[in-house]
Amino acid sequence: MTGDLLIMTVFGSIGIAIFGLFFGLVYKGIDRKIVAHMQKRVGPPIRQPFLDVIKLMNKETVLPENAVGWMYSMAPLVCLASSIILLLYIPMGGLDQVFENGALLGGHGDIILVLYLLIIPSLAMVAGGFASGSPFATVGAQREMVTMMSYEFPLAVVIIAIVWKLSTAGGDVFSLSLIAGNPIWNSVGLLGLIGAFILLLALVIVTPGEVAKIPFDVAEAETEIAHGLLAEYSGRNLALFYLADGVKTFAMASLVIVLFFPYNISPVLEQYVALGDFTILVDFLFFLLKVFLVLLFSVTLVRAGMARLRITQVVSVYWITVTLIALFGLVLLMWDNQFDVGWF
């Protein structure tokens, strides 16, 4: 049994890695195409991210003269690996019916582990920036550290609020499978409903910062610090960072879905048509649609309609505005707990 479990874990990890890499690039292509049309441009084809990766893989990887070689080369690998590992703990619609705990490696307290794993890709980029020996990359690394410290607190408040509200459900409330199985909307009254919407708003604002997209991409500002963190990266190493960005973006959108939109569509459709063996496929396609909508409203539309913020503005937005928004949502959930009348 142990051998079968090991084989399933290994091949499951490989399958999810390929899945994350493919759809991470697909969503990057869709994002670029939509933004281009919103700005009255034709834009690149949706397959362009795949072409970019292939081109970078075939280019020479240059090691800067003043770089710390081993750290410079390890940073992209750690960044991509940690981004893929994130997907192993996040339940995904359709696939959550295949795995016992909702995700391949899902289990006790995995929401806490996911919070730590979200930090590792950013830390790897910071380490790579410092190791490259470039003054532009050093400034970018410093900005990335400040940005990371800014958005982690409101993100933690959102997670704590949801876990606290679901604590009455019993079981391991820090398990993502339990959170997905007990949607927050089903556990709140009127005040809690408002609080949950406010928490969702805070998480939507955190998402572009977490995945380093406009207006919170100050660490990679091309016009200010020559692409910052990645200024000295080329070839295979740059391709790995590019892939990691797509995978982490997909993982972050998946986390938003687990926390706020974990519903499957198959129970609704089965009232009208027998799905049979297609249940998993239908729920999986519905999950991909939800990922697209989350990225559309939290990344694409924001990126198309806003300019890059200054680093001081990023800090004030996250430490003051978004944190207060998240805390207000938490307070409403606490007040909601004082009433016995449910909303649903």
Would residue 259 count as lying in a domain? yes
Point out the least confidently predicted range of 135-139, 182-186, 218-222: 218-222
Residue 231 in this model has a pLDDT that exceeds 60: yes
Q: Please check whether residue 162 lies inside any domain of the structure.
A: no
Residue 97 above 70 pLDDT? no
What's the domain count of the chain?
A: 1
Average pLDDT over residues 319-337: 89
Q: In the predicted model, what is the mean pLDDT of residues 146-156? A: 88
Q: Where are the alpha helices (DSSP H) in 109-210?
A: 110-131, 135-165, 176-181, 190-210
pLDDT at 93 over 80: no
* 60 in any annotated domain: yes
- Are 198 and 189 within 8 A, CB to CB? no
Is 260's pLDDT higher than 80?
yes
Amino acid at residue number 36: A
Phi/psi-derived region of residue 192, left when phi > 0, alpha when psi is between -120 and 50, beta in every other case: alpha
What's the rounded mean pLDDT across residues 295-311? 86
* pLDDT tier at 159, thresholds 50, 70, 90: very high
Q: Alpha-carbon torsion 55, 57, 59, 61, what sign?
A: positive
- Is residue 302 one of the residues assigned to a domain? no
The pLDDT, as a whole number, for residue 341 is 47
Residue 96's pLDDT is 64
Query: Cβ of 296: how many Cβ atoms within 10 Å?
Result: 16
Question: 27-71: per-residue pLDDT in tens?
Answer: 999 999 999 988 888 888 999 999 999 999 898 888 887 888 888
Give the count of beta carbons closer than 10 Å to the beta carbon of residue 160. Answer: 13
Contact 176, 95 (CB under 8 A): no
1, pLDDT greater than 60: no
Query: Residue 278 has which token pair?
Result: 């297609």
Domain membership of residue 243 (yes or no) is yes
Does residue 89 belong to any structural domain of this protein? yes
Range of the domain at 123: 2-147+168-183+223-297
In a domain, 197, yes or no: no
Nearest to 8 by CA among 77, 101, 86: 101
The DSSP annotation for 96-113 comes to GGTSTTSSTT--TTHHHH
What value does the mean pLDDT take over residues 284-313?
A: 88
pTM equals 0.90
- Comparison of pLDDT for 144 and 247, the residue scoring more: 247
Q: Specify whether the CB–CB gap between 303 and 35 falls below 8 A.
A: yes
The average confidence (pLDDT) of the chain is 85
Query: Alpha-carbon distance 137 to 155, whole Å?
Result: 26
pLDDT above 50 for 343: no
Flag whether 192 is in a domain. no
pLDDT of residue 59: 87
Report, as an integer, the average pLDDT of 140-151. 85
pLDDT at 224: 66
What would the pLDDT profile of 168-212 be if each residue is shown by its tens digit? 766 778 888 888 888 888 888 888 889 999 999 999 999 998 888
pLDDT over 70 at 146, yes or no: yes
